[in-house]
């Protein structure tokens, strides 16, 4: 569910203390029996709304980062082919009922979508054939610095992708190694320059702070280097440990030695320096750790990325495709199974809800609490 400091008494979540209350798109850990009803209600809501946002999960990575709790696996030819066949079946099942609904934004996340560029480009084309994308619809692809050579960037741009979100996390090679990232700071800098040179007007850099053994000096240098690359957006997230089942290496590290992690005073200083450094360089703060610099955008482009407007301000229904993907509307939300092989096998079932693992229909009280909190976040109101 949506979580915020003031919603604990209304909406059940996974946080255990106030500092853990960070935005989560959805956590339907209860009322699982409502998955069929949740899908039907979301399709109905989306049809009435007439607009929607799409998310597609590509679960392939060369290796697993220590903090990553998302569904991901190293690709093989057989697994990749089977996965995208299943993904196309799911997309097709929705295209029949929502083909006339306008798509305002399309987001490819992972994993590393650019690790399988041919399949990614084929999927973009398939989505265009099944849905009605608005003119100028925002199409975002998440990328790893080592997977976006010049030819891939040109192919993405030609396919209609108009925004790249690059996972960098840190410009310290020491921290990157601790995170088990497979790129260096220098490779990330070069990749950012290629994105600009290819002609992308929008590109975002993801950063993570409060990592073990990370000090304030290292974090400030990372922020300053990010700013120097002139991205239109910077997202700065406090590192998360993963869920209670301990599905990240970082959580296990925390359980073994909490002293390696920054204390609350240092975390607060990192948060303050983030706002200070980005603010003085023209970045305005948005929801969920997102910062935007309007100076780098042509005047004819919207000020905010559409994906954020859809999810935070306009309340556009989100339809998620792929393993572990979330879908949500104002009154319902659900999650697909997060096991890749199971997702592939379930896609062959004739029932449209076969892929869904968990789902729920919100009460009016829950829906109002989530909506009020999200609108407050988007407008910059403090909790």
| Measured distance CA(310)–CA(322) in Å, rounded | 20
| Measured distance CA(116)–CA(102) in Å, rounded | 27
Buried b (16+ CB within 10 A) or exposed e, 337-349: bbebeebbebbee
| Measured distance CA(180)–CA(198) in Å, rounded | 28
pLDDT digits (tens, 9 = 90+) for 201-235: 899 999 999 999 999 999 999 999 999 999 999 99
Q: Which domains does the chain have, with CATH numbers?
A: 1-162+305-375 (no CATH), 168-200+202-297 (3.30.750.200)
Predicted confidence at residue 20, as pLDDT, reads 33
Q: What phi and psi, each to the nearest 5 degrees, are found at residue 112?
A: -130, 90
| Measured distance CA(223)–CA(237) in Å, rounded | 12
Given a contact cutoff of 8 angstroms between Cβ atoms, the answer to whether 321 and 343 are in contact is no
pLDDT digits (tens, 9 = 90+) for 140-171: 999 999 999 999 999 999 999 999 999 999 99
Predicted confidence at residue 70, as pLDDT, reads 83
Predicted confidence at residue 306, as pLDDT, reads 60
**All residues at 6 or more sequence positions from 77 whose CB lies less than 8 Å from its CB, including other chains:** none
Predicted confidence at residue 106, as pLDDT, reads 95
pTM: 0.87
- Bridge partners (DSSP) of residue 139 are 106
pLDDT digits (tens, 9 = 90+) for 35-69: 888 899 999 999 999 999 999 999 999 988 888 88
Q: Token pair of 170, please?
A: 């840190």
Angle 14-239-173 from CA coordinates, rounded to 5°: 160
Place of tokens 């003119």: 135
| Measured distance CA(81)–CA(90) in Å, rounded | 15
Place of tokens 């007007």: 201
Element (H, E) at 365: helix 364-379
């Amino acid at each position: 569910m949506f979580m915020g400091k003031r919603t604990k008494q209304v909406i059940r979540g996974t946080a255990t203390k106030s500092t853990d209350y960070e935005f989560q798109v959805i956590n339907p850990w209860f009322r699982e029996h409502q998955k069929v009803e949740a899908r039907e209600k979301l399709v109905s809501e989306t049809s009435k709304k007439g607009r929607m946002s799409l998310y597609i999960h590509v679960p392939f990575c060369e290796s697993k980062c220590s903090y990553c709790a998302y569904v991901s696996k190293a690709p093989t030819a057989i697994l990749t082919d089977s996965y995208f066949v299943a993904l196309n079946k799911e997309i097709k099942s929705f295209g029949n009922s929502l083909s006339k609904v306008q798509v305002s934004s399309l987001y490819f996340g992972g994993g590393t979508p650019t690790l399988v560029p041919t399949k990614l480009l084929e999927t973009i084309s398939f989505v265009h054939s099944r849905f009605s994308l608005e003119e100028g619809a925002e199409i975002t692809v998440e990328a790893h610095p080592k997977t976006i050579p010049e030819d891939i960037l040109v192919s993405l741009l030609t396919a209609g992708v108009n925004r790249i979100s690059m996972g960098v996390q840190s410009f310290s090679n020491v921290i990157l190694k601790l995170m088990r990232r497979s790129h260096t700071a220098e490779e990330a800098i070069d990749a950012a320059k290629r994105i600009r040179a290819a002609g992308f007007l929008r590109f975002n850099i993801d950063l993570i702070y409060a990592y073990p053994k990370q000090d304030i000096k290292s974090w400030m240098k990372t922020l300053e280097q990010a700013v120097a690359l002139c991205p239109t957006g910077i997202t700065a997230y406090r590192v998360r440990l993963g869920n209670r089942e301990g599905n990240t290496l970082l959580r296990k590290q925390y359980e073994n030695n909490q002293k390696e992690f920054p204390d609350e005073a240092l975390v607060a200083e990192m948060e303050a320096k983030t706002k200070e450094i980005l603010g003085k360089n023209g970045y305005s703060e948005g929801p969920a750790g997102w910062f935007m610099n309007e100076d780098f955008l042509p005047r004819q482009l919207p000020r905010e990325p559409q994906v954020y407007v859809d999810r935070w301000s306009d309340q556009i229904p989100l339809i998620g495709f792929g393993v572990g993907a979330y879908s949500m509307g104002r009154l319902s939300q659900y999650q697909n199974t997060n096991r890749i092989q199971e997702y592939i096998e379930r896609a062959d079932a004739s029932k449209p809800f076969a892929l869904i693992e968990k789902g729920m229909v919100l009460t009016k009280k829950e829906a109002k609490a989530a909506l009020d909190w999200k609108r407050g976040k988007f407008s910059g109101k403090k909790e």
